Chains A and B, each alone.
Chain A
């Protein structure tokens, strides 16, 4: 089945810093989503981005489907950005395959 790899696995930042999270996938996909799992365990939709670039406030994402990767950019990070970020893809079915996640800690 399709494989999803995220990097880096962990990241510690000072408030105000920028960061880039990477998601590589092993096959062509119909759907790619980025989620933020907050410290309470809730999975929050950040982006639905099978291709192209989207922006939402301090966050933006780019997926290059032909190169099989996606990037999530966080600018001017805040302590509330802490948590785990997941990339998930759909291949030939509706099933989402998740990466292992990237734990982000933003210190004040």
Chain B
């Protein structure tokens, strides 16, 4: 069974450009999470969805960040406009909320904003 799939794996962009990160959760999972990892702040939750509905977006840094989950098998995290301080690794994770709740992580997208 395929794990969590993220694309792209690496993204290099210039300041001011729009960036879209994509995630496909594990089939059958109904919760999806976006995390960001930086040296300064470690791993922190940005937003999570349950049954495609955003539940907690308190970790989204500012209005430049937005996330959507149009269906159970796809989510996007968009940054517009991007800034150098957004450079980080962005992880998507999924879980089955009705079960143990164990979260499984994708390989991450390494974003560099120059």
Contacts and interface: CB of A to CB of B under 8 A. Distances in A.
Nearest to B100: A48
Contact of B102 (A43, A45, A95, A98): A45
B54 interface: no
A67 B10 CA distance: 41
Interface in A72-108: 86, 88, 90, 93-101
Size class of the contact patch on chain B: 20 to 34
B75 interface: no
Size class of the contact patch on chain A: 20 to 34
B44 interface: yes
Contacts of B100: 31, 48
Interface in B22-57: 31, 33, 35, 42-45, 48, 50, 55-56
Contacts of A30: 101
A31 B89 contact: no
Contact of A33 (B44, B91, B97, B103): B103
25 contacts: A31-B101, A31-B102, A33-B102, A35-B105, A41-B108, A41-B110, A42-B105, A42-B107, A42-B108, A45-B102, A45-B104, A48-B102, A86-B43, A88-B43, A94-B97, A95-B33, A95-B48, A96-B33, A96-B35, A97-B45, A98-B43, A98-B44, A99-B42, A100-B42, A101-B42
Interface of A: 30-31, 33, 35, 41-43, 45, 48, 86, 88, 90, 93-101
